[in-house]
A and B are shown apart, each in its own frame.
Chain A
Amino acid sequence: MSVDCERYYVELRRINKSFGTFQASRDVNLRIQRGRLVALLGASGSGKTTILRMIAGLETPDSGEILIDGKVVNDVPGSERGVGFVFQNYALFRYMTVYDNIAFGLRVKKKSKEYIDDRVHELLKLIGCAGLEKRYPSQLSGGQRQRVAFARALAPSPQLLLLDEPFAAIDAKIRLELRAWLREMITNLQITSIFVTHDQDEAIEVADEIIVTNGGGVEQVGTPRELYSHPETPYVARFIGSSTSVKEYWRFRFFKSLGDQTSAVVRPEYVKVFRKDENKKFAKSAEEGIVDDVIFRGDNLEIRVRIHDVVLSATRSINDPVVEVGEKVDVFVYRFLVVDGEKIILLDNSSLREESVVI
């Protein structure tokens, strides 16, 4: 296969790691291509930080291999792996100025004074903090601290940048700005990067590729689009996007049961709600439901509709005719993600095929 021939910059093979009796990583396998920006996405405690720390050499795996640039680095000290690490709470040196913080890694590597001076100023300019070099971390805003931490990690010119929840400690508005900034920065620098997050919007927006972790293991690896449209495990199906569980999905028309033990997950994007008097595409195959709640979401409306004893969510545009709570509406479901054991099967509304034939 062509993918296999490509060089992976970072590779984890069958990594296990326990803290006492608690297994924080179980059989983790990962491959990351050079120059990619990858997100490690998972719930709190799912082992994201542990994976990152093992790559950085801050933690040693109990078993398995870590490869960077094709070489096994299990026995290479973290400082010689060419890795820059941005800590969860930045861990800036509080008793050093911004300048000294950024210069630290270079001084440790015994670079010349002139080189250090040039590099620090270059980075300060890059992060838009020129002129702040004499400040202490406590005299910076959250966003500036984050940028300084980023510069400090970049100073020794690492080939791989690891960021642990880089935006967690920053308030929502600046976070959006910083996300875009970081994405642009990393794309320009062409540096392979892995960042940890438990915010799926962040992962979807920033990353080329997402690794979903759960309970210490890797659930699925894929582009945001792949995770969205083809979740491979029930966990991913429920975790990505907002989803509603539906037990007896076969009660919906045009869906047949795929087995007794199966249940399903549905996303708002797969559900369409129409007023009775609206022109609609799927007139014949829609079913009747009752509006349970209408929630204003700013740029759209979330309609919660009761049908076959479950409440499904759907979105409607602000410009669409208004639906009221208690109103009878037509509901059309395009697709269910059917959970069959540990597998996910995409089940489309069978009338979609028929109607396209009819028309």
Chain B
Amino acid sequence: MNIRRNEGAIKWTLITLCAIFLAVFLILPLIYIVATSLRAGFQTYWKSITDEYAIKAAILTLEATAWAVVINTAFGVCAAWTLTKFQFRGKKTISTFIDLPVTVSPIIAGLIYVLTFGRQSFLFPILDRLGWQIIFAVPGIVLATVFVTFPFISREIIPALTAQGTDEEEAAAQMGASMFTIFRKVTFPHIKWALLYGVVLCAARAMGEFGAVSVLSGHLRGKTNTLPLYIELLYQGYDFTGAFAASSVLVIMSIVILALRVWLEKKGVKDLDVRK
């Protein structure tokens, strides 16, 4: 009954608890990362982050992220459309499989691809003849990244598409609009914000992926090392300054994504208000 009343004691205890929790588990470590990376002076920091291998790792990370976003956007839109606009048998199964990657440990995801495309696979001779190297190469890293971020975009769009129903599309089709026009003019505006939000989530997750990528990468410095792998490598080599410097780059990338997310949410809500 009193749930909405501002019971001073309880309210402030809870707020304090949350704040302490966030501070201890999130903010302090982040500050610590930045502080440690700067401990040896800015010069050293700058040198660490402009290290040839660090830059290559950052570029590879961005590359894998871009692929993951593009592939999962295409797949996510198709899957969401299929699942919401058509009735067919096996719909539940498909829907469940889309979620599989988030429930499977990333390390297993990595191993799956090693088994599928690695030396012991029956596919290997074919790939070898074509000169396609997947395992321990960039394609493997992209595959792993796509796998772990698989459901992010489709899961964001599906609720938006479901809420919209099919009647607007039906009206457009009745007037003779093509599938493509219907998608572009009628459906897309409905899912635009959800899609962008999904892209942001997908990008954030893709940048940070360690487990699956680690299995498939082979850790070739400057070739198949993404930023998280590079950080791990430095850390194992007791180069704490370097590791924390590289981490700070990753943190900055995450903060950019976070800011984007907040902005999108605000903008999306405003836009939806007008056309609820």
Binding site for B on A (CB under 8 A): 56-58, 77-80, 83, 85, 87, 89, 91-96, 104-105, 108-109, 136-139, 152, 156
Contact = CB atoms under 8 A, between A and B. Distances in A.
Most buried by A among B167, B181, B190: B167
Given A136-B274, A138-B274, A93 B171 contact: yes
Contacts, number: 64
Contacts of A156: 175
A85 B190 CA distance: 22
Give the interface size class of chain B: 10 to 19
A91 B275 contact: no
Contacts of A93: 168, 171-172, 185-186
A83 B276 CA distance: 29
Contacts of A109: 176
Contacts of B186: 93, 95
Interface of B: 167-168, 170-177, 181, 185-186, 189-190, 274-276
A87 B176 contact: no
A91 B190 contact: no
5 contacts: A56-B174, A96-B185, A104-B175, A108-B176, A108-B181
A94 B171 CA distance: 12
Contacts of B176: 77-80, 105, 108-109
A58 B172 contact: no
Contacts of B274: 136, 138-139
Contacts of A79: 173-177
Contacts of B172: 93, 104, 108
A109 B176 CA distance: 8
B174 A95 contact: no
Contacts of B168: 91-94
Most buried by B among A80, A95, A96, A136: A95
B167 A91 contact: yes
A104 B190 CA distance: 17
Contact of B189 (A78, A85, A95, A139): A95
A85 B177 contact: no
A109 to B, nearest CB: 7
Most buried by B among A85, A108, A138, A156: A108
Most buried by B among A77, A80, A94, A96: A94
Nearest to A77: B176
Contacts of B190: 94-95
A357 B80 CA distance: 79
A78 B176 CA distance: 7
A93 B165 CA distance: 12
Given A87-B171, A92-B168, 19 more contacts: A56-B174, A57-B174, A58-B170, A58-B174, A77-B176, A78-B174, A79-B173, A79-B177, A89-B167, A92-B171, A93-B168, A93-B186, A94-B275, A94-B276, A104-B175, A104-B185, A108-B181, A136-B275, A138-B276
Contacts of A139: 274
Contacts of A136: 274-275
A78 B181 CA distance: 17
Contacts of A78: 173-174, 176
B275 A138 contact: yes
B160 to A, nearest CB: 12
B175 A87 contact: no
B275 A104 contact: no
Nearest to A106: B175
A92 B167 CA distance: 9
Contact of A87 (B170, B177, B185, B275): B170
Contacts of B171: 85, 87, 91-93, 152
Contacts of B173: 58, 78-79
Nearest to B275: A94
Contacts of A83: 174
A75 to B, nearest CB: 16
A-B pairs, 6 with minimum CB distance: A79-B176, A95-B189, A91-B167, A105-B175, A91-B171, A94-B275
A64 to B, nearest CB: 21
A79 B175 CA distance: 5
Nearest to B276: A138
A284 B181 CA distance: 76
A91 B177 CA distance: 15
Most buried by A among B175, B177, B190, B276: B175
Nearest to B170: A58
A56 B174 CA distance: 7
Contacts of A91: 167-168, 170-171
Contact of A85 (B174, B185, B275): B174
Contacts of A108: 172, 175-177, 181
B131 to A, nearest CB: 48
Contacts of B167: 87, 89, 91
A33 B264 CA distance: 55
Nearest to A137: B275
A91 B171 CA distance: 7
A108 B186 CA distance: 13
A58 B171 CA distance: 9
B173 to A, nearest CB: 7
A104 B174 contact: no
A201 to B, nearest CB: 27
A137 B186 CA distance: 14
B88 to A, nearest CB: 14
